[in-house]
């Protein structure tokens, strides 16, 4: 039987203390897929998809490959949406091939349904941790410290980013919280309340569009390898 | 040696004159924006301009290209601001992007020859450029918007 080890939030944040930002790991809970099977008997490695630095820049790792379906935008957008992060402050980074990201096989129309929930949970959990840190910072009830597109809701907080990662990190690293990172802080609803029109329905341009129009979509590592004499293979046809 | 002017620069290509221009552009000159798709002129990914006309560089030998001015996607504009490139960005045309350099070069040649094409002229000109992602509707829209700005 596959064993997936729960990592406490406290442990994760302590581990992140050496980095420049808040780093949140979360579980990808599909046990029956090849990645989990391949990990049989081995300790589960948490996937690290999200980091927030002290300037408020949100970096989200796209673990699946962009092949025209928009998945490099789609999955980070799910996380950013639940995080209440302003998309203009989000930087999407393409993951290298690495087992720590789980199954990176991008085919079969599986990426969204496999990763929608894990990405959503990662965003929601991080948002609630930051909201809790903000409530402690401002000495206000947590219910009044709901994030709104990266900023606090009250007029006096309107220009104050909710993402002071250093403060959040120090607070949570010192807390006694030890639950699964996907469950969120005690007593808080995991997902934010949604309304159909809260996020503007507009096109979110993919990360590579400026490169596309110059003929360099970003797959050059494997496609631009030159093999001498290969052109002559066409003469066989 | 075949001497070919590519994006305004003369190159002495040390290769068999029967080598397809595409291979010289990519592997010898090092301009990899032009893509290899099918190698038999059936997809349009390798489209470049030769003497102002859109040609399939996979079917154009160095001997055929000699003496002509070649323009690739890298030479279409200095900074990606050709009207077609601007329209491509404004209309969010690309998905995977692999065919797009060829699509843009084909569209740019069309607008150079026919600044205000009809819908049918656009379809006729672009019919040899295949897009596996299926971005055809946005390609047509981008060409129309580019035509308005030319």
With a cut of 70, list the residues of chain A below it in pLDDT.
1-48, 53-56, 148-190, 192-210, 218-222, 234-237
Tokens standing for residue B2: 């075949």
Angle among Cα A22, A24, A30 to the nearest 5 degrees reads 170
Sequential DSSP letters for A160-229 = SBS--HHHHHHHHHTS---SBTTS-STTS-SSPP--TTSS-------TTHHHHTTT--S-HHHH----TT
The per-residue pLDDT for B13 is 94
Estimate the share of chain B in helix, then strand, then coil, as percent rounded to the nearest 5.
40, 15, 45
Q: In what order do the strands lie in the sheet with B47-50?
A: B9-12, B3-6, B69-71, B47-50, B53-56
pLDDT value of position B55: 98
Distance between CA atoms of residues A122 and A126, nearest Å: 6
Residues of chain A with C-beta less than 8 angstroms from the C-beta of B85: 213-214
pLDDT digits (tens, 9 = 90+) for B37-94: 999 999 999 999 999 999 999 999 999 999 999 999 999 999 889 999 999 988 989 8
Q: Which of A60, A44, A38 is nearest to A12 (CA)?
A: A44
Distance from CA of A70 to the nearest CA of B (A): 7
C-alpha distances in Å from residue B84, one per residue of A12, A231, B45: 49, 31, 16
Whether residue A158 contacts residue A152, with contact meaning beta carbons closer than 8 Å, is answered with yes
For residue A166, what pLDDT is reported? 42
Query: Any chain A CB within 8 A of the CB of B23?
Result: yes
Q: Is the pLDDT of residue B114 over 90?
A: yes
User: B145 versus A178: which is more confidently predicted?
Assistant: B145
- Greater confidence, A221 or B150? B150
Q: Among partner residues B35, B92, B101, which is closest to A205 by beta-carbon distance?
A: B92
Tokens 């090092």 label which residue?
A: B30
The alpha carbon torsion through A197, A199, A202, A207 (nearest 10 deg) reads -160
Nearest-angstrom CA–CA distance, A14 and A118: 22
List CB contacts of A156: < 8 A, sequence separation 6 or more: none
Q: CB distance B85–A234 less than 8 Å?
A: no
Chain A nearest CA to B76, separation (Å): 9
Query: Strands A58-62 and A90-94: what pairing?
Result: parallel
Pairing assessment for the beta strands B3-6 and B69-71 based on DSSP bridges: parallel
- A231/B40 CB distance under 8 A: no
Smallest Cα distance from B103 to chain A, Å: 10
Token pair belonging to A115: 């990763």
**A215:B88 CB<8 A:** no
**Model ipTM?**
0.70
């Amino acid at each position: 039987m596959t064993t997936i080890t729960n990592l406490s939030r406290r442990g994760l944040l302590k581990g992140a203390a050496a980095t420049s930002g808040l780093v949140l790991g979360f579980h990808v809970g599909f046990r029956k897929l090849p990645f989990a099977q391949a990990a049989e008997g081995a300790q589960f490695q948490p996937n690290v998809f999200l980091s927030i630095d002290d300037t408020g820049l949100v970096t989200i790792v796209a673990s699946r490959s962009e092949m025209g379906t928009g998945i490099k935008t789609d999955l980070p957008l799910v996380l950013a949406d639940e995080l209440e992060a302003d998309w203009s402050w989000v930087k999407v980074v393409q993951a290298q091939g690495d087992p720590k990201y789980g199954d990176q096989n991008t085919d079969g129309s599986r990426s969204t349904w496999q990763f929608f929930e894990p990405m959503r949970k990662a965003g929601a959990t991080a948002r609630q941790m930051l909201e809790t840190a903000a409530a402690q910072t401002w000495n206000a009830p947590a219910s009044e410290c709901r994030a709104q597109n990266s900023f606090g809701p009250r007029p006096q907080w309107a220009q104050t980013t909710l993402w002071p990662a250093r403060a959040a990190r120090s607070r949570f690293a010192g807390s006694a919280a030890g639950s699964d990172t996907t469950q969120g802080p005690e007593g808080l609803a995991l997902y934010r309340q949604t309304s159909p029109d809260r996020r503007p329905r507009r096109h979110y341009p993919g990360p590579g569009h400026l490169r596309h129009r110059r003929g360099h979509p970003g797959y050059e590592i494997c496609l631009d390898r030159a093999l001498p004499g290969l052109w002559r293979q066409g003469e066989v046809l | 040696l075949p001497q070919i002017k590519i994006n305004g620069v003369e190159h002495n290509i040390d290769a068999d004159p029967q080598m397809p221009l595409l291979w010289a552009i990519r592997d010898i000159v090092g301009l990899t924006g032009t893509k290899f798709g099918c190698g038999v002129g059936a997809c349009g990914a390798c489209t470049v301009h030769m003497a102002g006309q859109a040609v399939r560089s996979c079917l154009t030998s160095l001997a055929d290209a000699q003496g002509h001015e070649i323009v690739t996607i890298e030479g279409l504009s200095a900074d990606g601001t050709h009207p077609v490139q601007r329209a491509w960005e404004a209309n969010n045309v690309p998905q995977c992007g692999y065919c797009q350099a060829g699509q843009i070069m084909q569209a740019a040649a069309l607008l150079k020859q026919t600044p205000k094409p009809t819908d049918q002229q656009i379809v006729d000109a672009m019919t040899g450029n295949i897009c596996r992602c299926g971005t055809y509707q946005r390609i047509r829209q981008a060409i129309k918007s580019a035509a308005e700005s030319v």
